[in-house]
Structure 1
Amino acid sequence: MASGNPFFDDMQSKPEVIDLTQNEDIVDCESVDGPIQPAIKPNVTVSSNVRELLECPVCLNAMYPPIHQCSNGHTLCSGCKPRVHNRCPTCRHELGNIRCLALEKVAASLELPCTYQSFGCIGVYPYYSKLKHESQCSYRPYSCPYAGSECTVIGDIPHLVAHLKDDHKVDMHNGCTFNHRYVKSNPHEVENATWMLTVFSCFGQYFCLHFEAFQLGISPVYIAFLRFMGDDNEAKNYSYSLEVGGNGRKMIWQGVPRSIRDSHRKVRDSFDGLLIQRNMALFFSGGDRKELKLRVTGRIWREQ
């Protein structure tokens, strides 16, 4: 039944859902030759009222096409539509497949500063490319690399180094070589606990050395790996080696430190480090094989 409003009728007659992965002209403003360059417009501001219009009432995040609306004009993002079981969270009317084309056009006309402006990013970006920029922004803060707790602290590298030292009481060392010994009276008792985190300062950078025991299937496994406190493109400028042994045998691992942008769990679960099965660890420990005594040595160097 026609409403008498041709614009509204047009919206109702086209229950279109846009797949953002196939609609690059809307979300991806990257050119063929490379990423877009930010417009340096520090004085550009957007009314808080406009920002509120583009905020989803359910998840409170910025809305991107398709932006849905109910017959009363209340809007919400496409991600939250199934969460509310196709009912408007504001008036409880059925949502249907009506898109708010006017609000999508308003969003397309906006330019907003990067969320990480307070961390030093001065770029201003079109609304539909801002999200992609922020996922790659070199100024975005890092998460705390400490793995022994669910720490939610974020910040730049100097802030995290101070946080690790003061709040987590992590050992801090200067130099590019290390020699650590781990002793456990009963190596059969493994509870996914972090052994140790040590921070090394060398080449003007910071590195996190992790030692950990975790359960792989039914067997305990021991792993040591290094993470770089910085981005991945910088981490690739360094290499490191780890060595463990005993009874005239040894194992050596050589690799590239992973950025702390990769979570501790992601690195551990990819086995990107020195991995020691329990039987081999007990063999290295010597004695009656009832006590774990592992000595892990290593060094960090810069690639030319």
Structure 2
Amino acid sequence: MRMSGLHGLGVSNGVSRSLPAQRFHRGWNMSRMNTQYLLPPIIKCMYGHMVCITCRSKFTCCAICWGPMSGDRNLSREKLAEVVRFPCRYAFSGCQMRMLYTDKPDHEDLCEFHPYPCPCPSSSCRWQGRLEAMVPHLQDEHKFITELEEEETRIVVEKIELGDAQDWVRMQFCFGFHFLLVLTKQGESNGRDQLFAIVILIGTRKQAEHFTYHVKLVGHRRRLTWDATPSPIQEGIDTAILNKNCFAINLSTARLFAENGNLTVHVTLQCCLLHPCDY
């Protein structure tokens, strides 16, 4: 027997399950424009119709009966929502996670199925898409990016003294994955320019943990190295710099390794797994 009052939340015989978003939307949402699940706080109109807090801010009357909004909350339905596991908002893209509504914001911020912006630096590109569509996008729309199939590469930064903000980009394919190598020169407020070297895996955070990269500068009787884990594509270039998850030197240090004003940056990618494509 179905428990009375629970069918709207997809709870039957004490076992929680999730309804398809469209069915839930028809029975619970105020606006046909809102395809999200009705989550606490749940507001009622004077006649008991329910609305989420987001839709409540858009309406002065009930969109179902046109009656006045009471501002009261449906506490019984909110209580039921505490035991239901809801799907991720990116389920349409392939995410199969189910979670309590209190865990949804944190999960969806990091969900690998959410649409990603174009990672190309210094670009006005407004593309957004799924992870598997990112490499074809970069290959088709950003043809200036050099693409290599090797574990080691070097980028020559010509005339490091000239110009303000500049970017140098490579895409490397190895170990079954694509990596984005970015050198970016940025001006600081104190007048001291800095050079950052960032490696981004076009993959998930979990996949990035299986790789390391090695940055090396070589000068006359000098050597400077840096080892780190690639940033996942979720973070992007700005976040990697902000979190100091990248190689960074100021211009005065870069001069010590430059030859005729040109700086050569060596980058090597390494895999921590014997069979990286199998996990």
Q: How far is the alpha carbon of 1:102 from its aligned partner? A: 6.0
Aligned partners of 1:89 and 1:265: how far apart in 2?
41
Matched, 1:216 2:177: no
Aligned partners of 1:202 and 1:299: how far apart in 2?
11
Aligned partners of 2:193 and 2:181: how far apart in 1?
20
Q: How far is the alpha carbon of 1:303 from its aligned partner? A: 1.7
Match of 1:229 in 2: 202
Match of 1:252 in 2: 225
Match of 1:25 in 2: none
Structure 2, unaligned runs of 5 or more: 1-15, 274-279
Q: How far is the alpha carbon of 1:129 from its aligned partner? A: 6.4
After superposition, give the CA deviation of every residue in 1:36-74 in whole Å (9 maximum; x if it has no partner). Answer: xx97x9xx64654x4045446599444321122354656
Contact 2:160-2:263 within 8 A present in 1 as well: no
Q: Relative to structure 1, is the Cα distance of residues 59 and 182 closer, same or farther in structure 2, using a 3 angstrom cutoff? A: farther
Contact 1:74-1:90 within 8 A present in 2 as well: no
Aligned partners of 1:267 and 1:196: how far apart in 2?
16
Aligned partners of 1:185 and 1:259: how far apart in 2?
28
Contact 1:54-1:107 within 8 A present in 2 as well: no
Structure 1, unaligned runs of 5 or more: 1-37
Matched, 1:264 2:265: no
Match of 1:204 in 2: 176
Contact 2:61-2:69 within 8 A present in 1 as well: no
Match of 1:13 in 2: none
Aligned length: 251
After superposition, give the CA deviation of every residue in 1:156-205 in whole Å (9 maximum; x if it has no partner). Answer: 33x21111111111221101000110113753x424x4x12211111111
Match of 1:163 in 2: 137
After superposition, give the CA deviation of every residue in 1:13-54 in whole Å (9 maximum; x if it has no partner). Answer: xxxxxxxxxxxxxxxxxxxxxxxxx97x9xx64654x40454
Match of 1:178 in 2: 153
Aligned partners of 1:180 and 1:293: how far apart in 2?
10
TM norm structure 1: 0.66
TM norm structure 2: 0.71
After superposition, give the CA deviation of every residue in 1:50-104 in whole Å (9 maximum; x if it has no partner). Answer: 40454465994443211223546565434676xx5xx953479996751134654
Aligned partners of 2:109 and 2:239: how far apart in 1?
18
Q: Relative to structure 1, is the Cα distance of residues 293 and 141 closer, same or farther in structure 2, using a 3 angstrom cutoff? A: same
- How do residues 1-80 of structure 1 correspond to structure 2 at under 5 angstroms? 45=20, 48=23, 50-52=24-26, 54-55=28-29, 57=31, 60=34, 61-71=36-46, 76-78=51-53
Contact 1:56-1:62 within 8 A present in 2 as well: no
Aligned partners of 1:116 and 1:201: how far apart in 2?
28
Question: What is the aligned counterpart of 2:252 among 279, 286, 297?
Answer: 279
Question: What is the aligned counterpart of 1:297 among 258, 262, 266?
Answer: 266
Aligned partners of 1:184 and 1:74: how far apart in 2?
67
After superposition, give the CA deviation of every residue in 1:193-228 in whole Å (9 maximum; x if it has no partner). Answer: 4x1221111111111111101133322110001111
Matched AA of 2:267: G
Contact 2:152-2:266 within 8 A present in 1 as well: yes
Aligned partners of 1:172 and 1:252: how far apart in 2?
24
**Once superposed, what is the RMSD of the aligned Cα atoms?**
3.8
